[in-house]
Amino acid sequence: MKLFQKLYFSFLLIVSACYNSPNVEIFNVQRNFDNPLIYSLNQNINFAKINEKNIEQALDFVLREADIIISEILAISNNNYTFNNTLLRLDDLYNTVSKVWNPLELLASVHPNVKIREKANKSILIFQNYFVELSANEALFEIVLQFSTTNEAKNLPINRKRFLESELRDFRNSGLGLSMKDREKLKLYQNIISELSLNYENNLASHLDTIFITFNMTEGLPADYLQNHLQKDGSYGIDLSYPSFYPFMEYAESDSLRKVLRYKFLNRGMPYNLNILDEILLNRKSLSELLKYPSYAALNIEDAMAKTPEAVWRFEKDLIKKINQIADVDTEELLQLKRDLKGDDGEIIFDWEKYYYENKLLQKKYNVDSEEVKQYFQVDNVINGLFIISSQLFNLKFLEIDNPSVWHSDVRMFEVRENADNRLIGQFYLDLYPRENKYQHAAAFSIVSGKKLNSRYQRPISCLVCNFPPPGKNTPALLLHEDVETFFHEFGHLLHDILTKTELSSQAGSSVAMDFVEAPSQMLENWVWNKTSLSLFATHYKTGEIIPDSLLNRMLMAKNIQSGNNLLQQIFYGLLDLTLHEEFDSSSLKSTTEIMSELQNSITHYTYTVGTHQQASFDHLLGYGASYYGYLWSEVYAADMYSVFEKEGLLNLETGLHFRRTILEKGGSENPMNLVKAFLRRDPNNEAFLKNHGIID
């Protein structure tokens, strides 16, 4: 999971996706205080020094600066409206605020100090409320509307025209055109959604649960896993973090313990988030109906590539038809393995069994042991591999910064430079290991967006937040192959942010359509499945031996293991998100749990486990808001774009630079379909996607 700028409060993304910074860099003004969150153009943030007072002070400062920009725009005399004094200044405003808001989004998700997290969260709510008010500013809307009728507006370049159109749409969807009474209702819905979303996230981040087992219950678990989970009293603590949960589900021989842990995992965020989600969905429905949309899904998808929920339903249903046959084969294969191992006539694979039997199938059919594979993916080698591949494809170089100012000792910082002239392009942080109260998934957080400021360019800063297995007592951090794939995926988001060259920060990097944002990152995943690229960094952490062809060939043969079932699972997530945002309402006789269980049972081959409530921890429902389908939608384009590299060379600099220029640098400044066509030099199709998953030959 970036996802792009990590702002989960998706309705407000309508406004915040417009972020840009000032043509006159506001943060360069004279100040009488020293605050790490108020920093000059291309200055590093002193994260280690941030305190609660800084957060409050920075919030007040940037909102005052935002008010000044609004006053300047409103003071323009009639008929003197230009792009520079209206739309560009709005972009300046968004950027100014984002330079504090974005770091606070990060700190709220990763900072070890609870007081910092709480103060950051409170400030985020204030920012959100501010933009709710701003988006309903009728005088501001009238100025943008009047500018849109000018000759300049009618002849804007593509990127500026897209920005104008998006601003007009966003103002209208913020209630302008409604009665004053309805506008107040809309503001109320927006503010309620923001606060509820924050509560949902906080409940999820703070949900801690652990099962403790004795040595005689550890059969099947790897030695290094046991070593990392050993408690002082000799028991083993298995928590719900990814590095703890997934290996247990794959290796533990105890079916009953896997069932217990899976049950706990699927009830994260309970009981509070169940009611919170209901309230979010109901308020989103009320909000969309007030804006004359049939559903929140219709509102949120309108600006995506798909345009309508109906297009998404057609896409997902067509995939189901293509996938069902291979998924049937996948399920029968697991069932037969279960029968062989248990010696019974089992007719069902339970939800808590799927990881275990898939891992057994991997070992038995393909002789691939995840524990053996991870010996070749020491985390520093994977980082170096990412750098080598990115350098060769995009003509870059990466340098680690010594002793950076960071929020936790685990965090590392790097520079990205042009290889040709050593010019600094951007910077990023890596926060790779789990800890209490930290964001629980993997995501790219945008800290500072790219933006043109007169003759200078605001350098992007980003952060990858992951939850990979940490170093053991006697071993370095070793990644499962799926962790390596996740790392490459999130690094794709980071490159999208760092390599941007857009004029406006609103369109910088991964600020693109929700159903295209995953495409560049999904494309980069393919390099972890190729001999040429893996030979550059997949070396045994003890011997330095390059991953042998014998093992790699078996891994490649197993690439599409259970691909049918895995795709159905993704379709289930997408349709759950879509259904909840189309059909759930206060008069519904079905709860979110009933909707979820019916969809899971009708789409996937793994039956719903009674008593579980996965929607209480499915936080993509907040940020995507009916757009989770975008993972598969964008993967169609990702696979098609990767096919060009397959044809022209996985490390072909010319192809890589073409991708950098046509996709990564453009951000959201042009229609994504046009960008894809420009890279492919033809119309896209789904052939590569279907081949990649073994659906067609």
Contacts with 314 (C-beta within 8 Å, 6 or more apart), sequence order? none
Q: How far is CA 126 from CA 17, 25, 108, 117, 377, in A?
A: 17, 23, 14, 14, 43
Pairing status of strand 424-431 against strand 443-448: unpaired
DSSP-based three-state secondary structure for 308: coil
Identity at 617, one-letter amino acid code = S
What is the spatial distance between Cα 631 and Cα 634, in angstroms, rounded to a whole number? Answer: 6
User: Which residues make beta-bridge pairs with 445?
Assistant: 463
What is the spatial distance between Cα 99 and Cα 237, in angstroms, rounded to a whole number? Answer: 40
DSSP-based three-state secondary structure for 523: helix
DSSP for 231-265 reads -TTS-EEEESSHHHHHHHHHH---HHHHHHHHHHH
What is the spatial distance between Cα 247 and Cα 229, in angstroms, rounded to a whole number? Answer: 12
Mutual orientation of helices 255-265 and 354-366 as an angle, nearest 10°?
A: 130
Q: How far is CA 446 from CA 103, 365, 512, 523, in A?
A: 8, 42, 13, 20
Q: How far is CA 492 from CA 377, 457, 489, in A?
A: 19, 22, 5
Identity at 42, one-letter amino acid code = N
DSSP-based three-state secondary structure for 487: helix
Show which residues are catalytic.
Answer: 490
